Amino acid sequence: DAGVTQSPTHLIKTRGQHVTLRCSPISGHKSVSWYQQVLGQGPQFIFQYYEKEERGRGNFPDRFSARQFPNYSSELNVNALLLGDSALYLCASSLGGYRTYQPQHFGDGTRLSIL
């Protein structure tokens, strides 16, 4: 079975631009979460979506937004890019459902570099 897939794998943007990152969850998984990982640190939670609704949000500015589609795939959008947005962006999927603690399955991420 295919795992979590993310696209693109690498991306270079300049300050002020907009970026869209995409994630396809494991088949049957209805929950998608997004994380930002800056070099040398652990991943930081950005968003979680379940059944197309936002279920959790981390401490990130409004420049960050996301959505989930009927097929449970997801997009992460970042506007007005800053140098500090350079990071590895990770997507994770799980079966989902309220009050669950199922493991999350991660993709290998999109490496975003801001010049």
Partner 1 sequence: DAKTTQPNSMESNEEEPVHLPCNHSTISGTDYIHWYRQLPSQGPEYVIHGLTSNVNNRMASLAIAEDRKSSTLILHRATLRDAAVYYCILRDAAGGTSYGKLTFGQGTILTVHP
- Extended strands (E) in the chain: 5-7, 10-13, 19-24, 31-37, 44-50, 53-57, 64-68, 74-78, 87-94, 105-106, 110-114
User: Cα angle at 103 between 101 and 105, to 5 degrees?
Assistant: 145
Q: Which is nearer to partner 1, 19 or 49 (CB)?
A: 49
C-beta of 71: minimal distance to partner 1 in Å? 19
Binding to partner 1 (CB under 8 A): which residues in 60-89?
none
- Minimum distance from residue 44 beta carbon to partner 1 (Å): 7
Q: Determine contact, residues 75/20, Cβ cutoff 8 Å.
A: yes
Selected from 5, 11, 13, 44, the binder of partner 1 by CB under 8 A is: 44
Q: By the criterion CB under 8 A, which residues form the site for partner 1?
A: 4, 31, 33, 35, 41-45, 48, 50, 55-56, 58, 90, 92, 94, 96, 98-101, 103-109
